[in-house]
Amino acid sequence: MNWRSIQFRLTAWYAVILAVTFIVVGIGVWLAMRDSINDTVDKDLRSRLQAMQDFLKPNAAGNEVSLDELVEDAALAPAGTRFRLANTIGRWVYQSAGTEGWGLCHQIDRDCRNAAGLKP
């Protein structure tokens, strides 16, 4: 087939237009899915944080958090939920299973301690 023929040139243009369309749609779908996944994860984390705050708020009136209640609440949490709670001097009050290797707060980031109101 002659590459200068109208049939070849039209086929080449159609192939290029189809490839560009697939690329643009693919990128659009990927971006939309990424945004949707991020929104879903953010909502889930916010709801877990709100549940933890609701759990700890009644105890903030000077009462210590009951470790038994905390362990029971952690056992009822969705699978894979891991969290740690520190007291005001930076010692861990509770660590769920799998968080032992996370390291200390000041080893990860000095701003973490500042955000918690602790001395660096």
Closest by CA position to 106, among listed 90, 93, 94: 90
Per-residue pLDDT of the chain (120 residues; tens, 9 = 90+): 687 899 999 999 999 999 999 999 999 999 999 999 999 999 988 887 787 777 777 655 556 656 666 666 666 666 667 777 776 677 777 777 767 777 665 444 455 555 555 554
| Residue 18 CA, distance from chain mean position | 36
Instruction: Using alpha carbons, list the distances in angstroms from residue 23 to 9, 19, 30, 37, 110.
Output: 21, 6, 10, 21, 43
Spatial CB neighbours of 7, under 8 Å, sequence gap ≥ 6: 1
Closest by CA position to 97, among listed 81, 108, 85: 81
Q: For position 47, what pLDDT does the model report?
A: 82
Q: For position 80, what pLDDT does the model report?
A: 65
Residues 8, 1 contacting (CB under 8 angstroms)? yes
**Which uninterrupted H or E stretch holds 117?**
none
| Separation of alpha carbons 114 and 120, rounded Å | 7
Q: For position 106, what pLDDT does the model report?
A: 44
